[in-house]
Amino acid sequence: LREHEEFTKVKNIATIELGRYEIETWYFSPFPPEYNDCLKLYFCEFCLNFMKRKEQLQRHMRKCDLKHPPGDEIYRSGTLSMFEVDGKKNKVYGQNLCYLAKLFLDHKTLYYDVDLFLFYVLCECDDRGCHMVGYFSKEKHSEESYNLACILTLPPYQRKGYGKFLIAFSYELSKKEGKVGTPERPLSDLGLLSYRGYWTRVLLDILKKHKGNISIKELSDMTAIKADDILQTLQGLELIQYRKGQHVICADPKVLDRHLKAAGRGGLEVDVSKLIWTPYK
């Protein structure tokens, strides 16, 4: 019954105001019942508290002393900053972020237990503060070697390379942990597109530079991408042959160049020298 209820729930909040944007929502999000009659919600762009009326938000903005997400700034390059927010230390922020994110995530269950997660919030900063562009969440301890639970680029910022930046960032954290990682399944269509794009770009760049044979295990060690994801990506690119019961990478330079041309720009890069972070103990 519960599952059925989930399916039949209709989108309640149609638009949100967040910073200087008014954003149309995509999906249902289970806001507390007192917000059920609202078509529009007003978010404080810094603490992510949400309100029913514009005047409430204006009053809130005069009192709210946050100018960036709570937690630690672990990366800064130019105007881009990444903040790490511990869901246990900033429970309300974590819950607000989940409510907000669910408006754009379809088949993701909402985590009420934000204690178990870290939130990596990407911001564009200017003299008015750090404005959230998107985020990803990550379990503090994952049995399944997930290095990312949910990822979102807010609609006004989509298709500018931030999604791939967030994905790249999640793998940089995995590299620092000395672990391979993979995103939690299922992936949305846009999630799959973005991941495929990222995996393709990273693997093609290595194969292009590398001389001689290279194994999937070696690629996995270099990139923190899980071997299964590498195999699937390379199979999709027709760079894998099956010989004597083994998958072998056949990186024909002509095929590589053709794929590299099609793979488009690299986009926003993560500058690892600007990441100041140690793994969660």
Least gap, CB of 153 to ligand ACO (angstroms): 3
The 8-class DSSP code of residue 264 comes to: -
Least gap, CB of 43 to Zn ion (angstroms): 9
Residue with tokens 């009053």: 59
Q: Closer to ligand ACO at the Cβ: 29 or 51?
A: 29
The 8-class DSSP code of residue 35 comes to: G
Dihedral sign, CA of 265, 21, 49, 63? positive
Assign residue 45 a region (left: φ > 0; alpha: ψ between -120 and 50; beta: otherwise).
alpha
Token pair belonging to 89: 């230390």
- The total of other beta-carbon atoms located within 10 Å of residue 141's CB is 6
Interatomic CA distance for residues 109 and 196, integer angstroms: 23
Q: Which helix (H) or strand (E) holds 178?
A: none
End-to-end CA distance of the chain: 39
Catalytic residues: 184
Determine if 188 is a binding residue for ligand ACO (CB under 6 A).
Answer: yes
Q: Closer to Zn ion at the Cβ: 16 or 207?
A: 16
Say how many residues touch ligand ACO, by CB under 6 A. Answer: 25
Cα distances (angstroms) measured from residue 257 to each of 202, 252, 261: 14, 9, 6
Query: Where in 74-133 is the site for ligand ACO (CB under 6 A)?
Result: 104-105
Determine if 187 is a binding residue for Zn ion (CB under 5 A).
Answer: no
Q: Which of 4, 62, 159, 254 binds ligand ACO (CB under 6 A)?
A: 159
Least gap, CB of 161 to ligand ACO (angstroms): 5
Residue span binding Zn ion (CB under 5 A) among the ranges 43-51, 153-161, 170-178, 254-262: 43-51
Q: Which of 47, 116, 190, 206 binds Zn ion (CB under 5 A)?
A: 47
Binding partner of residue 150 among ligand ACO, Zn ion, none, CB cut-off 5 to 8 Å per kind: ligand ACO
Determine if 244 is a binding residue for ligand ACO (CB under 6 A).
Answer: no
The 8-class DSSP code of residue 270 comes to: P
Determine if 19 is a binding residue for Zn ion (CB under 5 A).
Answer: no
Q: Closer to Zn ion at the Cβ: 44 or 133?
A: 44
Cα distances (angstroms) measured from residue 183 to each of 187, 194, 246: 8, 11, 26
Residue span binding Zn ion (CB under 5 A) among the ranges 41-49, 97-105, 135-143, 176-184: 41-49
CB 121 within 8 A of CB 85: yes
Token pair belonging to 219: 């690629």
Residue span binding ligand ACO (CB under 6 A) among the ranges 9-17, 48-56, 75-83, 185-193: 185-193
Residues found near ligand ACO in the complex (CB under 6 A): 104-105, 148, 150-153, 158-164, 183-184, 187-188, 190-191, 193-194, 197, 264, 267
